[in-house]
Amino acid sequence: RESQSNSPRPCPSSPRRPRRPQPLERSMAWITTASFNPSSLTGPYVAGGAAAASPRSSAYPDWVLLRKTARISAFRNATTAEGRTAEGRAVEASFWLVDPPGVSYFSVHCPGLQEEPQVVCAEAAFVLFRVRFSFPSERRISTHHFVYTARGAAGPPSLQLLPEPPGVEAVKSHQLGLLPRGGERYAVAFLDRSWTARGDAWQWQFDAYVFSSETCSWSKKEASLGLSESDAALLRPYATSKQIVVGASALGWVDISRGITVLCDLFDERPVVKYIPFPATGVCIAPYYRLTRHSAQCFHDVACYDGLIKFVEIGSNEPDCMIKGKGWRATTWIRNISWRSWRKHTRVDVANISVDPRYSALLPELWNHETHKLELKKLVFLLPTLSVRNDDLLYIMAKVGGEHDKAWVIAVGMKSAVVEGLAPVSTGRYCPSTMFSPCAFPSYLNNMTQGNKSEEPLVGCDGGILEEEEIQAEHRIRGPDMGNPVVKYFKR
């Protein structure tokens, strides 16, 4: 294997049938870069393999694309933290981390747990997730929220049960938001809203419940409204899909189809509720698999970095861009919470995105025999995800065919219009629009004392724990000229 040439194979100069993927042991040779632009990504997923990537000197990635749905598993590693539910059940949470665009995941172990836990939100060193138990015979559901803290140099990771705010009958996960406070301190906000009569008029009333990790207690505050009539009207059919931090004392609850409800001055006696509508566009959000709430997530995403909000929209001049062969374009806007309007930032058309021809071994279906190029639009587009770093990378999930369980997460440089990396992921039975959450907490683990890595199960690039015979091959994760080896999915 060491004697194999690392030079890229030339792409076919005339139409021919795509070559059959090589057997695993013959197809896993590293290749060198030739004409690639240096990538801002790290790890083995970038075009050209490890040679094209920025070297990572730390044990964990700076940030990850985390699958929101956990695996129920007793596997442990150096990231494992332990806690207990309100009823005293032991809970263990572990994270299995790979560089983007590879997909990371987390696992939870708890006696009697049958429903897979879900990530609610993640900011800085913290991950807020939900664990839920169903008791059909008693006709009740027991829901518990935990905050995972990556302590880093201060000690091992920890897991804290979040008590329910007093006087609230049922806490819905999408009403919670997480705000880092520096070091190991954090706050959790629960935003409760109601349609209330005030004299002869009806208006929104927002109550903010704030939990402090320092006092381990909740406080309740009635928020004042900084809403115009048009903003208040947009809030009526509001459906929260994610939460973002938009300042040192401000949280945003995102309705991915309309805009962001922002709770400002969270720690003042009288917080203020504002609303930021998304840029007005001509894209018509149609129901996707009859799930109207999820359909917008197939075309929009929102992220915030250092107070700058980023919004992306996938648009198309054709009726349905979520069909193989249809064209689409991605447009990003940026906005600070103090600005009066959005500013258009970048735009790229799928027809202009350059895909290195060496990826033809991984995705021969993209090859155009007439132009002798790979065309990204031949994939079935699923959803966009914005980076949480100060860069212009957009991560898109796409499939070769809509019926396949295997998809690809593709990193696209919005300014360079170049595919900078891709990685396979198993979608299985999960709804693609709710799969991933960008998280920065792994960077806080890098100063932590490492355990015995040889005793930890290794994670595959599709989010599965590897069997022994797969480990050696997986250490040489595929570059664009490595064929299309099949990776076994996670075994329950």
Number of domains in the chain: 3
- Verify that 321 and 406 share a domain, yes or no: yes
Q: Which two tokens stand for residue 223?
A: 């928020």
Q: Name 220's Cβ contacts closer than 8 Å, sequence gap at least 6.
A: 165, 166, 167, 207, 208, 209, 210
Specify if 11 maps to a domain: no
For residues 162 and 92, what is the distance between their CA atoms, to the nearest angstrom? 15
Domain of 183 in residue numbering reads as 166-277
Q: Name 159's Cβ contacts closer than 8 Å, sequence gap at least 6.
A: 81, 82, 83, 91, 92, 93, 146, 147, 148, 149
Q: What is the pLDDT of residue 256?
A: 87
Q: What is the pLDDT of residue 283?
A: 53
For residues 397 and 381, what is the distance between their CA atoms, to the nearest angstrom? 6
Specify if 49 maps to a domain: no
Count other Cβ atoms within 10 Å, centred on residue 12. Answer: 15
Burial 290-307 (b: 16+ CB within 10 A, else e): eeebbbbbbbbbbbbbee
- Verify that 270 and 293 share a domain, yes or no: no
**What DSSP string runs through 189-227?**
EEEEEEEEEETTEEEEEEEEEEEETTTTEEEEEEEEE--
Specify if 1 maps to a domain: no
User: Residue 183, CB half-sphere, CA atoms under 13 Å: how many?
Assistant: 6
- Verify that 316 and 399 share a domain, yes or no: yes
Q: Which of 428, 453, 476 is the last residue of a domain?
A: 428
Specify if 485 maps to a domain: yes
Q: Which two tokens stand for residue 68?
A: 């929101």
- Verify that 416 and 348 share a domain, yes or no: yes
- Verify that 200 and 271 share a domain, yes or no: yes
- Verify that 387 and 292 share a domain, yes or no: yes
Look up tokens 């100069």; give the residue. Answer: 13
Specify if 356 maps to a domain: yes
- Verify that 153 and 218 share a domain, yes or no: no
Specify if 422 maps to a domain: yes
Which ranges in 10-62 belong to alpha helices (H)? Answer: 24-27
Contact 150, 445 (CB under 8 A): yes
- Verify that 193 and 124 share a domain, yes or no: no
Specify if 31 maps to a domain: no
Q: What is the pLDDT of residue 404?
A: 67
Contact 128, 178 (CB under 8 A): yes
Q: Which of 381, 407, 428 is the last residue of a domain?
A: 428
- Verify that 420 and 302 share a domain, yes or no: yes
Q: Name 406's Cβ contacts closer than 8 Å, sequence gap at least 6.
A: 399, 400, 424, 425, 426, 427, 462
Q: What is the pLDDT of residue 127?
A: 98
Q: Which of 254, 277, 300 is the last residue of a domain?
A: 277
- Verify that 186 and 261 share a domain, yes or no: yes
- Verify that 343 and 462 share a domain, yes or no: no
- Verify that 424 and 307 share a domain, yes or no: yes
Specify if 179 maps to a domain: yes
> For the chain, which residues score pLDDT lower than 50?
1-40, 42-44, 47-52, 286-294, 451-492
Contact 268, 277 (CB under 8 A): no
